Chain A
């Protein structure tokens, strides 16, 4: 099976700014691989280097074992779906889709058959003679997809392809994209800043920040077992607390403020200054005064109704604000969801995660503010 990409020490600088900082990644054939990160993290630059639009400053790009870093884009067997689609306005849908087939030795009949086949696949069979401007955003997106897929690339690169669409259409196309990818078995390299998109579609996710890969693993792993505070913070909502770690049998005892908590997740071998992390949905809210380990008192500061759940902000002793999620499942609550209600929070040991403090990267906001050019703005 073809379509394996290996990035080795890949680096790209624009003048002083380092856009991609020596990343190593392996994308096996047939995988739906996502580069996730805030704007300016280097994900688009990485994609553009794989496509051939940018030359790496150093490092290698291995496509099925061959270094293609110096191969011009028109000679690489990878294709791109652009964020803006970049459909040729002077050609109709069929003309757009057939554009690249000219460079494959095919008979006219073969070419026609291929165009029809791929347009049927993306459910645009009846739109072959339309001009791009006569199509909706979602349809244009599918033309862009068809135009790239018809060439049977070993790897398909997608640069925030759903970014310009409204929420509902996005959801539909997420499912559709994933289905097409599984059917064709083409390696997809997908760039997005949308964590939900990354989690729902990908086989593996590489979370990028400041030109580096923070963590590359399965969606479940990056969410459940973040290795750095950046990953914990960027995916979903996290509570991050300063803590002091000491040994506690096989686990770890975290001193947060005045209290000690048992933590069983993450780098439980760490000692000294660490970060404690817990997801809102893992925090239990109990009536004020509930007794037991891993509990701390606090006061409800705000309760945000989210439909299926409530997000409750609790100010705990010591001044930290923790976010807890409670399901709106109809079960009676032992406390009032009102500002000022005293409650007790339960941080279960198997939900409390130890993150080594030394790995703390700059915050997301700083990363976005850094003048790293990822792509020419349109």
Chain B
């Protein structure tokens, strides 16, 4: 066992633990994806490769109305969520960054609260809100969208503020110095410089929205407001077919592609260290 104590040797113990962890976390997902391509109804025994659960004539993602509806609703919610959370979050980040009065620290903390609040607590709270305080909105798509915006907003603010802090004030000052009125300082200097962070935060919001289960479930209305994650949860214990795996795979691919794109954009235009920070947030 001398290699375990040899300080110059590679830290094999750590390597083994790391590899085991990666296998443990990836293999089940990989198997689930694999069975999305199973040429049979089983989700446990392999019967050959096929795309039948994606494009087949019966019960596939493409042709089963329930799966189709869930996927469509998930994407619609994600687009609404990104469309609202991103501009709102950017505006909030700009406002908070330039906030000079008292109470700035408190507001910062409050902005971060949704990041640490257990989602189930937020879900219950939002449910009560829509049932008792704003019954006019009712449960369903608008409530789901508002709920998702509520917690994705914090991520947008955190990412954009991180970038803002590293930009500093002198670029705005330089723009003002060169004659740009405040509107142009924002439009011609700050927003272009923030673009990578804005793209990244939009992608994170998109991924969070697609992933979300708890809040979306609580605020769901009828069956037309079922999302992919809700459908997976509901039917996991029923009589599932590999079509569910296929649906999950589609959702996974969309999420991963979005995040990869965001990371790429961010890394292209901003420093590597910040990109790493964003990558950490995504998980």
Binding site for B on A (CB under 8 A): 51-53, 72-75, 78-80, 82, 84, 86, 88-90, 99-100, 102-104, 147-148, 151, 376, 378
Minimum CB–CB distance from A164 to chain B (whole Å) comes to 13
Q: Quick check: A51 and B189 within 8 Å, CB to CB?
A: no
Contact of B178 among A53, A89, A99, A376 (CB under 8 A): A99
Distance in angstroms from A97 CB to nearest chain B CB is 10
Chain A residues with CB under 8 Å of B189's CB are 88
Q: Are A74 and B176 in contact (CB under 8 A)?
A: yes
Bound CA span A73–B177, Å: 6
The 8 closest A-B CB pairs, nearest first, are A100-B178, A103-B179, A86-B174, A73-B176, A86-B170, A90-B192, A74-B176, A80-B177
Q: Which residue of A lies closest to B185 (CB)?
A: A74
B177: A residues at CB distance < 8 A: 51-53, 73-74, 78-80, 100, 148
Nearest CB of A to B83, in Å:
24
Q: B180 at interface (Cβ–Cβ under 8 A)? A: yes
B193 beta carbon closer than 8 Å to chain A: yes
B185–chain A nearest beta-carbon distance, Å: 8
Taking CB atoms, residues of chain A closer than 8 Å to B169 are 376
What's the interface size class on B, roughly? 20 to 34
A328 CA / B177 CA spacing, docked (Å): 49
Q: Which residues of A sit under 8 angstroms from B171, Cβ to Cβ?
A: 86, 88
* A78 surroundings in chain B (CB, below 8 A): 177
Q: Which residues does B use to contact A, with CB under 8 Å?
A: 168-171, 173-182, 185, 188-189, 192-193, 195
Q: What is the CA–CA distance of A88 and B179 in the complex, to the nearest angstrom?
A: 14
| B188 in contact with A99 (CB, 8 Å) | yes
Q: Say whether, besides A52-B176, A74-B176, A89-B193, A378 and B188 are in contact (CB < 8 Å).
A: no
Kindly list chain B residues whose C-beta atoms are within 8 Å of the C-beta of A151.
Answer: 178-179
User: If the complex has contacts A82-B174, A90-B193, are A74 and B168 also in contact, measured as CB distance less than 8 A?
Assistant: no
Task: Give the residue name and chain of the A residue nearest to B178 (CB).
Answer: A100
A378 to B165, CA, bound (A): 9
Residue in B closest to A89 when the chains form the complex, CB atoms? B193
CB B270 to nearest CB in A, in angstroms, measures 10
| Interface contact A73-B188, CB-CB below 8 Å | no
A53 contact set on B, CB distance < 8 A: 173, 176-177
Chain B contacts for A376, CB-based, 8 A:
168-169
Evaluate contact between A100 and B192: CB separation under 8 angstroms: no
* Whole-angstrom distance between the Cβ of A148 and the nearest chain B Cβ: 8
Q: A86-B170, A88-B189 are known contacts; what are 8 more A-B pairs with Cβ within 8 Å? A: A72-B176, A73-B176, A74-B181, A80-B177, A82-B173, A99-B175, A102-B179, A376-B168
**Closest CB of chain B to A357's CB: distance in Å?**
42
* B56 CB to nearest chain A CB (Å): 48
| Central interface residue in B177, B179, B180, B195, by most chain A CB within 10 Å | B177
Q: Which B-chain residue is minimally distant from A90 (CB atoms)?
A: B192
A72 to B182, CA, bound (A): 10
Q: Closest B-chain residue to A53, C-beta based?
A: B173
Q: Whose C-beta in chain A lies nearest to the C-beta of B196? A: A90
CB<8 Å pairs between A and B, sample of 27 = A51-B173, A51-B177, A52-B176, A73-B177, A74-B175, A74-B179, A74-B182, A80-B173, A80-B174, A80-B177, A82-B170, A84-B170, A86-B171, A88-B175, A88-B192, A88-B193, A89-B193, A90-B193, A100-B179, A100-B180, A102-B180, A103-B178, A103-B179, A104-B179, A148-B177, A148-B178, A378-B170
Q: Closest residue to A99 on the B side, CB-wise?
A: B178
Q: Which residues of B contact A148 (CB under 8 A)?
A: 177-178
Q: A104: nearest residue on chain B (CB-CB)?
A: B179
> Are A73 and B173 within 8 A (Cβ)?
yes
A114 to chain B, nearest CB (A): 13
Given A88-B189, A90-B193, A99-B188, check contact A74 B173 (CB 8 Å): no
A199 to nearest B CB, angstroms? Answer: 28
For A73, list chain B residues within 8 Å (CB): 173, 176-177
CA distance A84 to B169 in the complex (A): 11
